[in-house]
Structure 1
């Protein structure tokens, strides 16, 4: 049995009960070494641990599949949600390529995605339609990423930005903000959340025109508001539209 398990943002209180149960019942826990560190230590006791570095996704996935084929209950732990920019897709893709879909039972345990975590800390920026775009061009051509950013901004989606900036991709975030800025006012609120629900958490609301890419890294998620998004105190709010249909003031 092979299960992709979502750890959520990293705080133990946000680890879903189903995820905890899956790890508790596993013989093998596989994952990127940084994510293994997010697993409560008591859940790893007596278990075989398979970990690799950041660029070892395929190696890690194949190792987890082999342990599952040998009859061991295996979980692949992922930060956020295992089905969003994480390992669930690669595991399923390899099982399909090796004709193992019928041999290895596979499941996914959902969790709190990074944009959920960021949105909660920012208030309510995702209350209306939104798009999620990763700026990593390791697997997706930059031209495709640019097109998605441009079309999402033209359609007035709130945009959650993953993998915004690394040492090798130091200019991608500014390019992305410039593209979005073709269809958004410079005053548009942008939420910047680093290390959500982990040590070193940083939550800021700035404007599109004042985002400083130098303060952003790979552990940061940005949420760029749409044309209706506004600051609400120190939070962000994207109205769903209730104010247009109902009297929302408490007149009592």
Structure 2
């Protein structure tokens, strides 16, 4: 029986190795070498080609020696202007077989840092539409605040999303629609889902904050949206609003109406 289980496991390993040969991990021994910086550079530049990365290795450190070696690499993306850190390890196999498997969190690390880096450009773009968008540093600070809101019968933190947008009475639903479409185009350039793979989807919450009010913890939550790899623009809007619109244009029309209504009645 044990031999049968081992045989089946080895067959599964062979199949997985074949299917996953282009992915971020491959089978090796417990004394094997992790993916090299060159391996990761080539993989990332292919996976995220839509944003034209040009990666330069800044440092390489062995955090743990063999068996099950663990390396840490720091890369700088010359094309997009940011650094990120990624792990490259040999870990115990997920399947019950001897040996080890190579694993790296490079895709997640790159996409997360890219999206965080993108925040600065979004903050400036928001101003063109009369919106105030929190910087990444402000978002982190607001999440640590003790401000809460009521959701149903529960109190929950007021700020929980990746990005935070503040609007006042001068803002129209059309302004928000235009800006949210821009965010979508940046998160999914050319509708490419690479930046929003499942572990890296993004949440954007919208709040009412009267003009001139500097204390952002006094903001009133209006609505939130999620940007996910599997969703197109229409489906992205529907993560926040309810709509029976048959096409994207109809949902956009409902989006504007909903936001106009929320802003009109906010603050009372």
Smaller-chain TM-score bracket: under 0.3
| Structure with greater proportional helix content | 2
Q: Taking structure 2 as the reference length, what is the TM-score of the superposition?
A: 0.27
Higher relative contact order (CA 8 A, sep 6+): 1
Larger radius of gyration: 2
